[in-house]
């Protein structure tokens, strides 16, 4: 397949061409090019400059503004250090060259080898792979924090760590999982696969896409640095007024959350623009893969909800640095303002996690059920309905926070109504499986595990959406167990289904089915063994974020803690599968190992720089498995004057194609 590497998939003024630089010269100067190491150097220099400037500014204006010098210097150190990190990666080279009227250098195309994954690149496939590794790292670190504070809960009175350290670990775990992992599916799978699935040669804004990726390691480091300066006592929700009064570790929470908010916003704008404006001819919205619909719904929620979170974080930083009073009631502010701003983002965020996993579920089930997707349009309507209704339920988090009692029935109703579109998506999955000849593979096992876990999470969610039940269960381990069943039991099982399914597309290698089966069964058994007892613990009265509890609950807590360690072992099995496949066995995959009709499986590995030699023309749905006399999914047009080329191959039903 010939590629014209001089054409520009960047779309914003850049190209992916090499600019005619000889290969030997590129190799010799490789270490001088911007990369992660230069980014770290820039971060250190930027932090030093920002910290010094913060001290100077706060000292000069302290009498006028009443500023807190230590907080100002730390926040500016974080912000300028993050800019220095991005500058060291080379992200600012292009806009700076444009600002001074110079022709910016063309970024080089991604070179073979691991080095390309440590650099700023405009290739959406490399960005997707970088996202995948980053999200696995963040998930493992967040899980490690969970094991540390579960160790403390082995005994109700004998302590391994101090109360302050316990709260810090709980907050760090929650923030890591909810903040860093919001992009766990839309980051790797959305960026890598969506252009392939819609027949596009590129994303709409490659520089924005790359920027959204590289903001996440900056946020990760800033967040972890909070452990060195006292942590934060608020949990992942950052409630005022405690957040205003907390030590400097709270600043790391606010700055890192702000960086992730920008990452989510930039990624969402790029994703929505790509899906709306870069679809191949014939790829109507009625033929759009369900996974792409899920990405579009998720991106729409992000664009509307994330700016509200960013505004709240900015106001909180002003309260902590320049002594404003947005959230301090003694000076005219209101702690409830933070709760409303936070949860206006925070509850739609739950569906930022649920919708992508629903998309993976609906995308994979027809492949392994070998039948058309059940109720395609109805399922898509359910995804859109979830996104719309997610903005009308945030105040159920305020049932116990002093909200107007007259508003409780309204919010309770909207919270219960959102189960309707969610149930539609769920029933669509069940309908696809009904009377199907299911192929049991590792991705299919994780899809079935998602269905089981999310059912339990959804049923328990109906209870706590009602005011009387929430009054009793609020702040208990029952809510924690429900939350983990919907998020980890749904989102992370969907994530692993996607990893096993699309790993051949990412790497050209197929993960071991045997090791993957061990991973699934250990994960689902010990996941349920960890969190099912916590429903009982919550019903018996144990509150969250408290490291001492009644002696009669020790048996259930010990069971949950031991199961949590075994759940961690299941994740090590997953890592071993990756190591075994990539470094030891190195077993190549076929071009389309699952016999899927999706466009992403019609491209050879390694994927060409511009994805498609010629943009395909889409003719039918990607879910018409077993449908007689169906047209091909797409055809690749020949150059002008030659005529129409052959249909893209369908390894399942070649006899049904009439190109």
Higher-confidence residue of 54 and 114: namely 54
Higher-confidence residue of 34 and 175: namely 175
pLDDT surpasses 80 at 644: no
Residue 486: the pLDDT is 92
Residue 112: the pLDDT is 58
- pLDDT tens, residue by residue, 519-545: 999 999 999 999 999 999 999 999 998
For residue 373, how far is the Cα from the chain centroid? 25
Q: Which of 255, 219, 218, 257 is nearest to 237 (CA)?
A: 257
Average pLDDT over residues 653-658: 35
Q: How close are the terminal C-alpha atoms of the chain, in Å?
A: 21
Residue 484: the pLDDT is 95
Q: Is 524 exposed, middle or buried (0-12, 13-18, 19+ CB in 10 A)?
A: buried
Evaluate whether 198 touches 292 at the Cβ level (below 8 Å): yes
Q: Which tokens is 463 given? A: 């209870």
Residue 16: the pLDDT is 39
Point out the least confidently predicted range of 198-212, 239-253, 304-318, 617-631. 617-631
Instruction: Please give the backbone phi and psi of residue 618, each rounded to the nearest 5 degrees, phi first.
Output: -85, 135
Residue 7: the pLDDT is 35
- Return the residue matching tokens 């009387």: 468
pLDDT surpasses 60 at 9: no
Confidence of residue 116 (pLDDT cuts 50, 70, 90): confident
Residue 99: the pLDDT is 86
For residues 491, 292, 109 and 132, what is the CA-based torsion angle, rounded to 10 degrees? 0
- Return the residue matching tokens 């920008």: 262
Evaluate whether 620 touches 630 at the Cβ level (below 8 Å): yes
Residue 628: the pLDDT is 85
**Could you tell me the CA-to-CA distances from 358 to 173, 412, 558, 645 in Å, in that order?**
24, 24, 33, 35
Higher-confidence residue of 370 and 26: namely 370
Q: Which tokens is 614 given? A: 């010629």
pLDDT surpasses 70 at 549: yes
Evaluate whether 511 touches 583 at the Cβ level (below 8 Å): no
Proportion of the chain above pLDDT 70, given as a percent: 88
CA–CA gap between residue 567 and residue 529 (Å, rounded): 9
pLDDT surpasses 50 at 655: no
- 8: CB partners within 8 A, 6+ apart: 14, 15, 16, 17
- pLDDT tens, residue by residue, 167-184: 999 999 999 999 988 999
Higher-confidence residue of 295 and 160: namely 295
Residue 640: the pLDDT is 53
Quick count: other Cβ atoms within 10 Å of Cβ 593?
15
> Which long-range CB contacts under 8 A does 31-36 form with residues at least 24 apart?
33/90, 33/108, 33/119, 34/88, 34/89, 34/90, 34/93, 34/119, 34/120, 35/89, 35/115, 35/118, 35/119, 36/89, 36/118, 36/119
pLDDT surpasses 60 at 289: yes
Residue-range domain boundaries for the chain: 32-99, 604-659
pLDDT surpasses 50 at 24: no
Average pLDDT over residues 433-437: 93
pLDDT surpasses 50 at 14: no
pLDDT surpasses 90 at 286: yes
Residue 70: the pLDDT is 81
Confidence of residue 107 (pLDDT cuts 50, 70, 90): low
Q: Which of 465, 186, 222 is nearest to 300 (CA)?
A: 186
Average pLDDT over residues 239-244: 92
Residue 654: the pLDDT is 37
* CA-only gyration radius of the chain, Å: 25
Residue 109: the pLDDT is 53
CA–CA gap between residue 41 and residue 34 (Å, rounded): 11
Average pLDDT over residues 449-459: 94
Burial per residue of 610-641, b for 16 or more beta-carbon CB atoms within 10 angstroms, e otherwise: bbbeebbbbbebbbbbeeeebbbbbbbeeeee
Q: Which of 208, 190, 187 is nearest to 132 (CA)?
A: 187
Average pLDDT over residues 363-369: 96
Length of the chain counted residue by residue = 659
CA–CA gap between residue 372 and residue 374 (Å, rounded): 6
Average pLDDT over residues 214-224: 96
Residue 11: the pLDDT is 38
Q: Which helix (H) or strand (E) holds 618?
A: strand 617-618
Residue 639: the pLDDT is 65
Residue 68: the pLDDT is 56
Q: Which tokens is 220 given? A: 């990760």
pTM > 0.85: yes
- The 3-state DSSP composition of the chain as helix, strand, coil percent (nearest 5) reads 65, 0, 30
Average pLDDT, the chain: 88
Q: Which of 346, 48, 379 is nearest to 175 (CA)?
A: 346
CA–CA gap between residue 235 and residue 470 (Å, rounded): 20
- pLDDT tens, residue by residue, 332-345: 889 999 999 999 99
pLDDT surpasses 50 at 2: no
Confidence of residue 10 (pLDDT cuts 50, 70, 90): very low
């Amino acid at each position: 397949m010939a590629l014209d590497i001089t054409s520009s998939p960047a779309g914003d003024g850049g190209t992916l061409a090499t600019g005619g630089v000889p290969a030997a010269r590129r190799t010799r100067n490789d270490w001088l090019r911007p990369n992660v190491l230069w980014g770290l150097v820039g971060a250190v220099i930027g932090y030093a400059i920002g910290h010094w400037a913060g001290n100077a500014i706060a000292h000069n204006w302290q009498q006028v503004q009443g500023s807190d010098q230590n907080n100002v210097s730390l926040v500016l150190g974080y912000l300028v250090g993050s800019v220095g990190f991005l500058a060291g990666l080379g992200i600012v080279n292009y806009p700076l060259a444009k600002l001074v009227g110079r022709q910016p250098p063309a970024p080089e195309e991604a070179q073979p080898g691991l080095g390309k994954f440590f650099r700023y690149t405009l290739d959406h496939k490399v960005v997707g792979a970088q996202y995948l590794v980053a999200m696995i790292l963040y998930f493992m670190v967040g899980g490690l924090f969970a094991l540390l504070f579960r160790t403390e809960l082995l005994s109700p009175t004998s302590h391994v760590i101090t109360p302050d350290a316990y709260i810090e670990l709980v907050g760090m775990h929650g923030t890591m999982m909810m903040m860093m992992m919001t992009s766990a599916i839309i980051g790797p799978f959305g960026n890598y696969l969506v252009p392939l699935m819609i027949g596009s040669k590129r994303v709409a804004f490659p520089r924005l896409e790359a920027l959204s990726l590289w903001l996440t390691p900056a946020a990760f480091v800033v967040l972890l640095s909070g452990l060195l300066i006292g942590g934060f006592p608020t949990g992942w929700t950052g409630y005022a007024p405690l957040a205003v009064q907390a030590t400097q570790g709270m600043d790391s929470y606010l700055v890192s959350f702000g960086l992730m908010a920008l990452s989510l916003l930039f990624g969402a704008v790029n994703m929505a623009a790509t899906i709306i404006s870069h679809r191949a001819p014939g790829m109507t919205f009625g033929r759009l893969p369900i996974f792409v619909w899920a990405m579009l719904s998720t991106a729409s929620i992000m664009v509307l909800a994330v700016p509200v979170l960013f505004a709240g974080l900015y106001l909180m930083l002003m309260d902590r640095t320049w002594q404003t009073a947005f959230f301090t009631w003694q000076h005219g502010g209101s702690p409830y303002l933070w709760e409303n701003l936070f949860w206006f983002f925070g509850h739609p965020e739950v569906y930022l996690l649920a919708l992508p996993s629903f998309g993976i579920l609906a995308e994979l089930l027809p492949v392994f059920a070998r039948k058309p997707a059940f109720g395609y349009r109805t399922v898509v309507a359910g995804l859109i309905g979830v996104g719309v209704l997610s903005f009308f339920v945030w105040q159920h988090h305020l049932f116990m926070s002093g909200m107007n009692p007259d508003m409780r029935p309204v919010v309770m109703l909207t919270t219960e109504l959102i189960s309707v579109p969610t149930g539609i998506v769920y029933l669509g999955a069940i309908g696809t499986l009904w009377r199907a000849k299911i192929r049991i593979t590792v991705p299919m096992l994780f899809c079935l595990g998602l269905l089981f876990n999310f059912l339990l999470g959804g049923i328990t969610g109906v209870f706590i959406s009602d005011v009387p039940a929430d009054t009793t269960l609020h702040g208990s381990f029952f809510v924690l167990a429900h939350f983990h069943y919907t998020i980890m039991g749904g989102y992370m099982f969907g994530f692993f289904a996607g990893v096993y399914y699309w790993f051949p597309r990412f790497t050209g290698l197929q993960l071991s089915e045997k090791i993957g089966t061990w991973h699934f069964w250990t994960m689902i058994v010990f996941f349920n063994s960890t969190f099912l007892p916590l429903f009982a613990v919550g019903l018996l009265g144990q509150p969250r974020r408290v490291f001492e509890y009644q002696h009669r609950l020790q048996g259930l807590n010990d069971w949950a803690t031991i199961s949590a360690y075994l759940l961690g072992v299941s994740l090590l099995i997953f890592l071993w599968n990756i190591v075994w496949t990539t470094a030891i066995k190195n077993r190549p995959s076929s071009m389309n190992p699952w016999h899927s009709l999706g466009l992403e499986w019609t491209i050879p590995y390694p994927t060409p720089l511009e994805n498609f030699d010629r943009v395909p023309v889409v003719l039918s749905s990607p879910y018409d498995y077993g449908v007689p006399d169906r047209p091909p999914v797409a055809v690749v047009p020949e150059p002008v004057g030659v005529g129409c080329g052959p249909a893209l191959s369908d390894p399942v039903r070649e006899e049904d194609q009439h190109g």
